[in-house]
Amino acid sequence: MAVQKSVGQTMMALNGDEAVAWAVKQSNVDVVAAYPITPQTIIVERISEFVHNGEVDMEFIKVESEHSALSASWGAALAGARAFTATAANGLALMWEILYITASTRTPVVMAVVNRALSAPINIHNDHSDSMGARDSGWIQIYSEDAQEAYDNTIMAFRIAEEAMLPVMVTLDGFTISHTLQNVSVLPDEVVSNFVGVRKIPRIKLPHIYGEKEIPLMLNPKYPISFGPLDLFDYYFEHKVQQNEAMKASVPIIEKVHREFAEISGRSYEPVHMIPYKTEDADVVLLGLSSTMSVVRKVVDELRSEGKRVGAIRLRVFRPFPADMIRKELSKVSTVGILDRSLSFGAEGGPVFMEVRSALYSSSSKPTVYNYIYGLGGRELPPKLIKKAFDELLEAKEEPEKPVIKYLGVRE
Amino acid sequence: MVAKAVWRPDIKELARIEGQKRPVESGHRLCAGCGAGIIIRQIAMAARKPLVWINATGCVEVATTIFPYTSWNVPWAHNAFENAAAVGSGVEAARKKLARVNRFEGDPDIELDYDVIVLGGDGGTYDIGLQAISGAFERRHKIMYVLYDNEAYMNTGIQRSGGTPFGARTTTTPVGKVIKGKPLFKKPIMDIMVAHGIPYAATVSPAYWNDALVKFRRGFETEGPVFIHAFSTCPLGWGSAPEDTVKIMKLAVETCVFPLYEVVDGEYRLTGPSVSIAKNPDRKKPVEEYLKLQGRFRHMFKPENKWMIEKFQEWVDRQWETLLKRAGY
């Protein structure tokens, strides 16, 4: 993604974590509750510095665990605050219970997940097993390719979360992005502040209690509401279906916020949910997430110069999953390789593969689909292995009887 | 910092409050004789400001809300079992920030001047929620955490907790042929909380309503975290008659099984009947009087299990002696 010049932006040398911290600093966040975990630590360190130097007016609750980090963020959001938290790997796993509760109570918390491998064995490096494990928790998930995008996505996430009334997870690859210095175009404070505003409290009607009066949806003694009641077989099912509808309804909100952000920043991530690269006439496409895709695009350029018709698709929004868009984009492609940086143990392939392949099942012209698992625990994916995958896919002719799952870069 | 001026409940004022909206309306599903309902009522009566109420998973949560109904007349939130103190931290931090910047100035529909009360049972406090409370207390949030201690996981069907007393029969400490009830003693939860250096901690037996109200009010008026350990009879789990609830709450104090005291900035003070027992040790009743009203201790009265009552009494005596020393007796 080329960084376009826009009036008033400052080019800063920031790593991905710092870029997130800057976005939080500028986004009128009222409460941060977070617990340090590698490789997310720089986010909490920078925010602490901003708070301790009086550069930002927020309450930073330095909680004693990630479970409490999300619980406190939930309480803060319910009390009317804009709340942010950040974590990685085991920290996200510890939040698991509260991930579902946050989404199911439609609480707009924003969280940065600095993707790191899950234990055991303990490993601090990048893969996507943490956020992929949370893919069904009801959070919107946006995967960032670089530090610039981590900054941009974090700012947009507050708008998306509050308008969709759903929590948003912004991910960035551990170390590869979180700890790598990059030129980041930082918007002026007032531009970001105007873009996100301060948290607006939604108003709802509870006719059986408050008649036609529209009351603030928050913990508020003026108009008491009970949040988190017991809800059994007579209503739970409907609430879950409604929650799923809310996820679908977030699609146009996500698109609108991206359009408006492009206007203030000059950075457009069109068409938002996924970004195709040289796919118009491609026979073979590699589809994947996050920082890996910048390397894949470079390989695409090299292979194109050799006359090979290859392309790439970077999936940005994994939840809600852009199935229609994927069907359309892949309808003219003969073979597609899905890059998964996590495993789904005992399943027929990685999570991205299963989603994409399932989306293609109802397509009239479906490509042959292969799965490449790569990069677990931070294992590198050098260009030569990406080339190898492309070459295999170019040779593949027919849909195999069983899904083909290959490991890239693992010792036999 | 604990408020110096002590508020005294006025019976006429209380009668007036009682005539107004209650925090929990009738129609809730708490059992007849449940101590928690009385505790909730007393907390609300002692309130000085509007309340925002955070509830851990447990009997009170399930018995007062079932969608689409709620018994609560105060803003109320339940998230999970072990994190009520963390949720309370978030609410308090949000309130502080939003009030500081007058975020809702000019919006007549939003009130930010309130006290945060967090209510949890013994499971949510002694056991699964201990870490979150410890964190919230260390961070000095202005929340009042009230433990309603019915001495077992009653909501899930009477399983033992860290708050279950020695000898008590629960479904996970049955009276078996080899092991009779719970072989271990209660965790010293007050000591653990006081060790956090919080400005105010107190024990409350709802039977002594005057003492309870003063302590709840003092808790609200304290700047910083507050812990109140409230004794809560559970007829279902304890095998006691619903009409004996208050009697058992009284006997717990009179036998020194549950002495009444407060710890103000680290200084221990006995309150209510515990003061007169300290001054006149003859008034201290034997534990049998407390135990015999409860089916959960019935097996201890069999001749071959008499040693259990003796052991229970020894433990009570030792706890009481320690408390007396701390309170300067």
pLDDT at A265 over 70: yes
pLDDT, residue B8, reads: 84
Cis bond before residue B281 (omega within 30° of 0):
no
pLDDT above 70 covers a percentage of chain B that reads: 97
Q: Directed axis angle between helix A147-164 and helix A16-26, to 10°? A: 40
**Which backbone phi and psi does B265 adopt, to 5 degrees?**
45, 45
Q: Which residues pair with A289 in a beta bridge?
A: A315
Among the partner-chain residues A75, A78, A218, the one whose CB lies closest to the CB of B89 is A75
Chain A closest-CA separation from residue B180 CA (Å): 35
Whole-number pLDDT of residue B20: 66
Domain B11-326 grouped into CATH 3.40.50.970: yes
- Residues of chain A contacting B24 with CB distance shorter than 8 Å: none
How far A102 CA lies from chain B's nearest CA (Å)? 8
Which ranges of A41-146 does DSSP label H, i.e. alpha helix? Answer: 41-52, 66-78, 89-94, 96-104, 129-133
Does B132 reach chain A within 8 Å, measured CB to CB? yes
Contacts of A61 in chain B (CB under 8 A): 89-90, 93, 139
Confidence band for B9, pLDDT divided at 50, 70 and 90: confident
Whether the predicted pLDDT of A225 surpasses 60: yes
- pLDDT at position B23 is 86
Whether A63 sits inside 8 A of B75 (CB atoms) is: no
B72, B76, B98: residue with CB nearest A81: B98
pLDDT in tens, B122-138: 999 999 999 999 999 99
Cα–Cα distance measured from residue A162 to residue A168, given in angstroms and rounded to the nearest whole number? 9
Contacts of A98 in chain B (CB under 8 A): 79-80, 83
Q: Is the pLDDT of residue B57 over 70?
A: yes
Partner-chain contact A59 B89, CB within 8 Å? no
CA distance B78 to chain A (A): 5
> Mind giving me the DSSP string for B113-153?
--EEEEEEEHIIIIITTHHHHHHHHHTT--EEEEEEE-SSB
The rounded distance, in Å, linking the Cα atoms of A118 and A122 is: 7
Q: Say whether the peptide bond before residue A271 is cis (omega within 30 degrees of 0).
A: yes
Give the pLDDT of residue B19.
63
Burial class, A43, CB count within 10 angstroms (exposed 0-12 / middle 13-18 / buried 19+):
buried
Could you tell me if B70 lies within 8 Å of chain A, comparing CB atoms? yes
Are A235 and B90 inside 8 Å of each other by CB? Answer: no
**Cβ separation A75–B94 shorter than 8 A:** yes
Q: For a pLDDT cut of 90, what percent of chain B falls above it?
A: 92
What amino acid occupies position B261? Y
Considering only A255-264, A351-360, B22-31, B259-268, which range has the smallest mean pLDDT? Answer: B22-31
CB contact under 8 A, B78 and A77: no
Examine the pLDDT at A114 and tell me if it is beyond 50: yes
Any chain A CB within 8 A of the CB of B21?
no
Report yes or no: B94 at the A interface, CB cutoff 8 Å.
Answer: yes
Give the closest of B52, B97, B109 to A223, CB-based: B109
Average pLDDT over residues B306-311: 98
Q: Do you find a cis peptide bond into A322, omega within 30 degrees of 0?
A: no
Name every chain A residue with its beta carbon within 8 A of the beta carbon of B62.
230
Give the chain A residue whose CA is nearest to the CA of B98. Answer: A81
- Chain A residue numbers with beta carbons less than 8 Å from the beta carbon of B97 are 30-31, 57-59, 81
Q: How far apart are CA B213 and CA B38, in angstroms?
A: 11
Kindly state whether B102 is in contact with chain A, defined as any CB-CB distance less than 8 angstroms: no
- pLDDT per residue as tens digits for the range A299-344: 999 999 999 999 999 999 999 999 999 999 999 999 999 999 999 9
> Where does the pLDDT of residue A172 fall: very low under 50, low under 70, confident under 90, or very high at 90 and above?
very high
Nearest residue to B274 via CA among B232, B241, B302, B316: B316
CB distance A311 to A284 below 8 Å: yes
Q: Contacts by B94-97 with C-beta closer than 8 Å and gap 24+? A: B94/A30, B94/A31, B94/A59, B94/A75, B94/A76, B94/A77, B94/A79, B94/A80, B94/A81, B94/A83, B95/A79, B95/B52, B96/A59, B97/A30, B97/A31, B97/A57, B97/A58, B97/A59, B97/A81
Summarize pLDDT for A74-83 with one digit per residue, the tens: 999 999 999 9
Contact B91 A63 (CB under 8 A): no
Name every chain A residue with its beta carbon within 8 A of the beta carbon of B96.
Answer: 59
Chain B nearest-CA residue for A72 = B90
Chain A neighbors of B65, CB-CB under 8 A: 226, 228-230
Cβ-based contacts of B139 with chain A (< 8 Å): 61-63
User: B302 and chain A: CB distance < 8 Å anywhere?
Assistant: no
Domains parsed from chain A with CATH numbers: 1-272 (3.40.50.970), 274-408 (3.40.50.920)
CB pairs under 8 A between A and B: 174
- Per-domain boundaries in chain B: 11-326
Contact flag B75-A74 (C-beta cutoff 8 Å): no
Evaluate if residue B17 carries a pLDDT over 80.
no
Of the partner residues B87, B114, B132, the one whose CB lies closest to the CB of residue A221: B114
Q: Do the chains contact at A235 and B98, CB–CB below 8 Å?
A: no
The DSSP letter of residue B207 is T
Kindly state the average pLDDT of the residues B185-214. 97
Q: Does B14 touch chain A (CB under 8 A)?
A: no
Q: What is the pLDDT of residues B223-273, one digit of tens each?
A: 999 999 999 999 999 999 999 999 999 999 999 999 999 999 999 999 999
Q: Is any Cβ of chain A less than 8 angstroms from the Cβ of B115?
A: no
Nearest by Cα to A337 from A301, A303, A387, A376: A387
Q: Is there a contact between B119 and B77 (Cβ–Cβ < 8 Å)?
A: no
At residue A3 the predicted structure's pLDDT band, cuts being 50, 70 and 90, is: very low
Closest-approach residue (CA) in chain A for B115 = A221
B99 close contact with A: CB closer than 8 A: no
Are the C-beta atoms of A95 and A112 separated by less than 8 Å? Answer: no
Residue A1 pLDDT > 70: no
**In this predicted structure, what is the pLDDT of residue B16?**
78
* DSSP state for residue A280 in the 8-state scheme: T
Instruction: Judge: B68–A235 Cβ closer than 8 Å, yes or no.
Output: yes
Q: What is the mean pLDDT of chain B?
A: 96
**pLDDT given at position A77:** 98
Specify the DSSP element, H or E, that contains A60. Answer: strand A59-62
Q: In Å, how far are A31, A155, A356, B121, B304 from A151, measured between CA atoms?
A: 18, 7, 27, 42, 72
Chain B hits for A215, CB-CB cut-off 8 Å, are 109
- Across chain A, mean pLDDT equals 96
